[in-house]
Chains A and B, each alone.
Chain A
Amino acid sequence: MRSIDLKNITRNVKEMCIEANYYLSEDMNDALASALDNEEAQLGRQILEQLQENLVIAGSDMIPICQDTGMAVIFIEIGQEVHFEGGFLEDAIQEGVRQGYQDGYLRKSVVRDPIYRENTKDNTPAVIYYDIVPGEGVTITVAPKGFGSENMSRIFMLKPSDGLEGVKNAVITAVKDAGPNACPPMVIGVGIGGTFEKCALLAKRALTRTVNTHSNIPYVRELEEELLDKINKTGIGPGGLGGTNTALAVNINTYPTHIAGLPVAVNICCHVNRHVTRKI
């Protein structure tokens, strides 16, 4: 049994909210740099140069990379031998988000009710997913999600007979419909299988995987590569203003599903694909 003080959780969540919004992860930086190297469109290169400059300014002047500092999505894996002390875990996480968004000069973008829309003024509540895992470790991933791209995400309840071709069409359809709205070059998180909500969660989780890694299932890896190639042939390009870099990566997660179904979720993220992970 390991005891963890919840103040430790609050402090880490706070720091991660700030870190994610000012500094892009190394894999994303590398992917954007290599996009600039191979972009064929002149305007596309100009836009990618602006994005590089933007990342430098964000870090040096401490201005968030994007004004949409997102709704905080948090994945927490809790070893079953862990005991938390000093209150309730969810309160500690929400307090970390509150402090991070206030002290970090991050935008408060959350409204209390989806219809009446009163801003909560501290960006809480975050969306939190808990997983119980073996051992006594705790792993937290903070992934602030902007809604320009979130709004363009889709779920398709395909038929089993639609097969792999159906999956490809679903992803390409979602990307084409998103076009310039989702701030390309995008990162595409795809979930295949599970149930309606599990599939969406697989897609969201796929966005937190580094963009320079592939699935270790051979056919899924091939699908990731093929879809990225197809997406980059659409011509949408940086900013949606034409070019050869529409997506930086396609990350796919799969899960067993029902004999009657083939759910496919496409969670689209912009080029500011933010995620920070820490082990506590």
Chain B
Amino acid sequence: MEKYVNIPMNREVASSLRAGDYVHLTGTMYAARDAAHKRMQEALAEGKALPINPDNNVIYYMGPSPARDSRPVGSAGPTTSSRMDKYAPALLDLGLKGMIGKGKRSIAVKDAIVRNGAVYFAAVGGAGALLSRTITSSQVIAYDDLGTEAIRRLEVQDFPVIVVMDSEGNDLYETAVLQYNKEN
């Protein structure tokens, strides 16, 4: 189904989304990838506050190319999510409702999605120029020294994603591939 969702979103909204839904996201999300996740994990281990409150928020696994002229951001497509698998369950347990990336997730992440009524979206990998157009504002809010890996607050308008994993434990990567498998 095609759906329009405002973010941040609560558990009720996140858990209503189903694997296979084509969703247009509008609102505020946070970009963070490998190095930022590592620092957030270290902060949690030391009992320090995170630079963002995960509760009801959406994290986009993305490190943009530099912005040209007066544009908010450069090319801005998803990176491979599995590198964040180690860090995602703790953030989901702190209320994170959505993750946007590409590629498979671990069982631990799937379990944390189900446990917390959250959702995992895929954006189309390698469509960074197209996705850039839906980002209306980008501001570095933490870990500036990490360059492209800094945490950014993004404002998005109709950012296109597909639900891959939902709160019922469905996984579109598994089911859709079987549908078109023609081996044997």
The complex places the Cα of A184 from the Cα of B146 at a distance, in Å, of 29
Query: A117 to B75, alpha carbons, bound, how many Å?
Result: 23
In the complex, whether B70 has a CB less than 8 A from a CB of chain A is: no
A180 close to B129 (CB less than 8 A): no
Contact A117 B35 (CB under 8 A): yes
- On whether the beta carbons of B64 and A67 are closer than 8 Å, the reply is yes
A202 to chain B, nearest CB (A): 25
A68-118 residues with Cβ-Cβ distance < 8 A to B are 68-69, 105-109, 117
Nearest chain-A residue to B64 (Cβ)? A67
Q: Does chain A have a CB within 8 A of B82?
A: yes
A65 CA to B126 CA in the complex, in Å? 7
- Asked whether, in the complex, the Cβ of A107 is within 8 Å of the Cβ of B74, the reply is yes
Q: Does B76 contact A (CB under 8 A)?
A: yes
Q: Which chain B residues (96-133) contact chain A, with CB distance < 8 Å?
A: 102-104, 122, 124-130, 132-133
Whether B104 contacts A148 by the Cβ 8 Å rule is no
* Chain B min CB distance to A182 (Å): 8
Q: Which residue in A47, A105, A146, A242 is a CB contact (below 8 Å) of B68?
A: A105
The distance in angstroms between the C-alpha atoms of A69 and B129, with both chains bound, is 12
Shortest CB distance B120–A (Å): 12
Residues of A within 8 A of B77 (CB): 66-68
Contact of A242 among B103, B127, B180 (CB under 8 A): B180
| Chain A interface, >50% SS class | loop
Which of B47-55, B151-159, B169-177 lies at the interface? B169-177
Cβ–Cβ contact B162 & A179, under 8 A: no
Chain B, residue nearest A64 (CB) = B75
In the bound complex, how far is the Cα of B176 from the Cα of A119, in angstroms? Answer: 38
What residues of chain A lie closer than 8 Å to B182, measured between beta carbons? 233, 235, 244
Question: Judging by beta carbons under 8 Å apart, are A66 and B126 in contact?
Answer: yes
B64 close to A107 (CB less than 8 A): yes
Cβ proximity bits A49-75 to B, threshold 8 Å, 1 near / 0 not: 011011101100111111111000000
Residue pair B125, A67 in contact (C-beta under 8 Å): no
Q: Which residues of B sit under 8 angstroms from A179, Cβ to Cβ?
A: 103-104, 173, 177
Question: Roughly how many angstroms separate A67 CA and B63 CA in the complex, as a whole number?
Answer: 7
Q: Is B27 an interface residue (CB 8 A)?
A: no
Which A residue's beta carbon lies closest to that of B175?
A242
Does A237 belong to the interface (CB within 8 Å)? yes
A residues within 8 A CB of B63? 67, 107, 109
Q: List, in ascending order, chain B residues with CB within 8 A of A183's CB.
A: 102, 125-126
List residues of chain B with CB within 8 A of the CB of A40: 180
0/1 interface trace, chain A 7-51, chain B, CB 8 Å (1 if under): 000000000000000000000000000000000110110110011
Does B79 belong to the interface (CB within 8 Å)? yes
18 A-B pairs besides A43-B22, A55-B129, A63-B129 with CB distance below 8 A are A40-B180, A47-B124, A53-B130, A54-B127, A54-B129, A57-B132, A57-B133, A64-B65, A65-B128, A107-B65, A181-B80, A181-B102, A235-B179, A235-B182, A242-B176, A244-B182, A270-B125, A272-B126
- Which residues of chain A have a CB within 8 Å of any CB of chain B? 40-41, 43-44, 46-47, 50-51, 53-55, 57-58, 61-69, 105-109, 117, 119, 121, 146, 148, 151, 179-181, 183, 230, 233-237, 239-244, 270-272
Q: B residues within 8 Å of A by Cβ?
A: 20, 22, 35, 62-68, 71, 74-77, 79-80, 82, 102-104, 122, 124-130, 132-133, 146-149, 160, 162, 164, 172-173, 175-183
A–B complex contacts, Cβ < 8 Å, 13 sampled? A54-B130, A55-B129, A63-B65, A64-B128, A65-B129, A105-B68, A107-B64, A121-B147, A181-B82, A181-B103, A235-B176, A240-B177, A243-B176
